[in-house]
Structure 1
């Protein structure tokens, strides 16, 4: 990950933290911010300097005081805060969603590389991860064939997702108050409110936000095996079921509100509330998925 990507990611997280502070309250110390954001003190100082420049904080001695809430425009775009591999993943998923990609679609490495502005090797490595699950097949001289998947495949994978995410959500609620995940959760909560305010014209943007939200939760309980096929989970639950275009704006608005309830439960640290919010949201996702299969 490039250093400027780390900085931009830390700055966005710092904006999320700033949003939780009342005007006039001091920011935590550089040491505390470094631990909470998971970055060096040098990166923290650079991020605070930008807050100064944008007049979102003021200097009082050696401390910084919150003076103004951040606007959506203050954040660096998501595409500038993720690694190349993550960008390719997000672009590929958006390509599938917006192009209304169906089973039987041919995927051309060179065309995708040009569209995503990356090398063909990066595209090939990404597609290879799907091949072993039987969702994409390599064709000689004709690129890749997207084969799709069955309802049974989706249900089986959903069962794994549900077990793992509930475990992760409960682990998230037990994180110490100074864990960087809470700052990231504040930032992503703000993005949910911003998207809900513009849902009529930006409802397609929910796919990326949904993906990042669930990855944040699952990050509280790392598991190399789950991480290995989470891309497949993303494909099915965050993109595939949205090929059902009926009531997409309404469904996404409902899902955003469920996310906000989920976030509130996590912040409460009440494990019963977390269990309830997690299961309710995943049950809705499962219903949406099954409805999509029934309308294919």
Structure 2
């Protein structure tokens, strides 16, 4: 039931993003169309519409659904209310690995890490189990885990899958975030964060990995494919599992990657599929070259 409420709140926020490009008096369209735009069931869409009627954002009379007023910040649910249990672990875990420079061979105690992240032990364990098949984390007796490095072969295989998935997902991103896209406002907001990072002080670029993870998550989510979406959540950790990277030119790499993201985002917002594909290919090629040149490879 809690998961259903989180999904409901997430879909409310998504529909509000869609309404951001409309004017009072505009009609929302049919339930089937809304369900397709939000990638939700009609039952969920009806619940979302009923909620927005209660908030006075829309009117709903039979098949006619009309925007009464532009939604404001108070109509949205807080981000924390829409995040899944795994997302509650993913952010803190990523920050811990990146900012803490956790070395290979580090032993993780489930209870200690769960206390650090303020999540149930069962939630943390479920999150860690996702990485065991990849060979990045190894389960030991007595609820201990060991962080391990990754090999060149692992990186090659990982990138081959990443390229296939993200190139396929790009068409979905163009549909969802192009000139008439339902999630265009979300991508515009993400663009503003990239631009601010690019224009800010050099030290601010250290915050790029989290922004990078969000961008690629949005891209993969646009594929509307549960396997691609699940892989993207896992790959965001793996790609940034760079505690062993040579950080000598980290700020330059981050600045270059921000510019590459902006090129993709601008092409998507313009609805230019060819330019977006070219920009994505360039970004993937750079990311691959950077990883292979920067990682201190483990043996094996």
Question: TM-score normalised by the shorter chain: which range applies?
Answer: 0.7 to 0.9
- CA deviations 1:170-218 (Å, max 9, x no partner) are 3544679899xx4335313313313532554764554333323323322
Q: Are 1:222 and 2:225 matched, yes or no?
A: yes
Which is worse superposed, 88-97 or 257-266? 257-266
Q: How many aligned positions are there?
A: 285
5 Å-filtered alignment, 1:79-228, equals: 79-141=80-142, 143-173=144-174, 182-194=181-193, 196-197=195-196, 199-200=200-201, 203-219=205-221, 220=223, 222=225, 224=227, 226=228
Other-structure match for 2:47: 42
The question of whether the paired residues in 2 share the 8 Å contact of 1:27 and 1:65 is answered with no
Q: Is the 8 A contact 2:114 2:120 kept in 1?
A: yes
Give the Å deviation of 1:238: 3.7
Retained in 2: the 8 A contact 1:266–1:274? yes
Q: 2:292 — aligned with what?
A: 290
Contact persistence 1:34–1:44 (CA under 8 A): no
Give yes or no for contact 2:110–2:143 (8 Å, CA) kept in 1: no
Task: Point out where structure 1 has 5 or more consecutive residues left out of the alignment.
Answer: none
Q: Secondary structure at the match of 2:138?
A: strand
Q: Is the 8 A contact 1:5 1:80 kept in 2?
A: yes
Give unpaired runs (5+ residues) of structure 2: none
CA deviation digits over 1:22-80, x for unaligned, max 9?
x6673625845455333422223424655x5xxxx798x97335558x67x98655433
Relative to the length of structure 1, the TM-score reads 0.75
CA RMSD of aligned residues (A): 3.9
Structure 1 pair 76–202 and aligned structure 2 pair: CA distance change class (3 A): farther
TM-score by length of 2: 0.74
